[in-house]
Amino acid sequence: MVATYITATWIYWLLEYAVRKAGYPKEPDAQFFPRWKKGREWTILVSPGYWLAHCLKNRIDCFPAHRRMYARRRFIVANNKHNLYVTAVLCIFALLPQQQTCSPFYVQLIWALVTVRYISRTFEIGFAFGNDVIKRPQNRSGLCKFTRIRLALRSYVELFVLSAPVYYAHCLMPDQFKSVILSLSVGTLTNIGYAFPQDHTPLAILVFLQVVATLSLVLLSLAIYVSRGGNLTRRSSGTAQKRAAP
């Protein structure tokens, strides 16, 4: 079991690097070597994807000023889409009936991979969106409120897709269909007690990772993005009027 999770972690690192690199914009030139920026190294232990995205955003911040905002916006949107696609593919592989046709190691590896991704992505979604809400409003990417809402909704859908195979892999539900129903129940914050059958194991606490990440999206991000868009618009309008005033 330990060897399986170590292998899955290495594979996941490679997968995350490929996903983040796919959305990374072209650098200004071949001699582009920005200074390394320290910060949030501790996230490597919890979410490799978040740390890689953070490092690549730091590189984008060193792009020429006229390209910086567009490059950051493109990177964020691409990451959001690619993560949903990768999660959907992993979910299909993890929920397919494989015990009769595949080796036990392959089945355990797939389940370990979706578990590692579940922990990494729920942390990344909850921490990134929550941090974006509580920090001082800044729009370094130029994302409008409608794009931000689309990003949040896409991540919300990803949480449903991401959680179902984990619940099935750790025997929180007896079959794939009930695992999907459980994911829908938890993601909509309804019937949470349904996640704990009478013979549940301590791993049932995994359910609350999805609850926390979902709360971060629904109760914090969506509401603040709508209000922030109006504030930024009014602030920009006020600044323009001051500049136009004689």
**Measured distance CA(98)–CA(101) in Å, rounded:** 5
- Mean residue pLDDT of the chain comes to 81
Average pLDDT estimate for 147-171: 89
Please indicate whether residue 218 or residue 243 has the higher confidence score (pLDDT).
Answer: 218
pLDDT given at position 229:
52
What's the distance, CA 185 to chain centroid?
A: 20
pLDDT given at position 113:
94
Q: Is residue 64 a contact partner of residue 38, using CB atoms and an 8 Å limit?
A: no
pLDDT band at 143 (very low <50, low <70, confident <90, very high): confident
**Measured distance CA(87)–CA(39) in Å, rounded:** 27
Q: What percent of the chain has pLDDT over 90?
A: 34
pLDDT given at position 38:
82
Give first-to-last CA distance, the chain, whole Å. Answer: 72
Q: Would the pLDDT of 226 be above 80?
A: no
The pLDDT tens digits of the residues spanning 75-106 come to 999 999 999 999 999 999 888 876 567 788 88
**Measured distance CA(36)–CA(21) in Å, rounded:** 18
Lowest mean pLDDT among 1-5, 178-182, 200-204: 200-204
Take residue 81 and report the two structure tokens written for it: 């889409």
The answer to whether the Cα torsion of 223, 130, 152, 67 is positive or negative is positive
pLDDT given at position 61:
87
pLDDT given at position 181:
82
Region class of 47: left (phi > 0), else alpha (psi between -120 and 50), else beta:
beta
pLDDT band at 245 (very low <50, low <70, confident <90, very high): very low
| Secondary structure in 3-state letters for 40-63 | CHHHHHCCHHHHHHHHHHHHHCCC
Average pLDDT estimate for 14-42: 85
Please indicate whether residue 235 or residue 124 has the higher confidence score (pLDDT).
Answer: 124
Take residue 234 and report the two structure tokens written for it: 């009014």
Lowest mean pLDDT among 56-70, 81-95, 98-112, 165-179: 98-112
**What residues have CB less than 8 Å from 70, skipping those under 6 apart?**
142
Please indicate whether residue 118 or residue 225 has the higher confidence score (pLDDT).
Answer: 118
Q: Is residue 121 a contact partner of residue 83, using CB atoms and an 8 Å limit?
A: yes
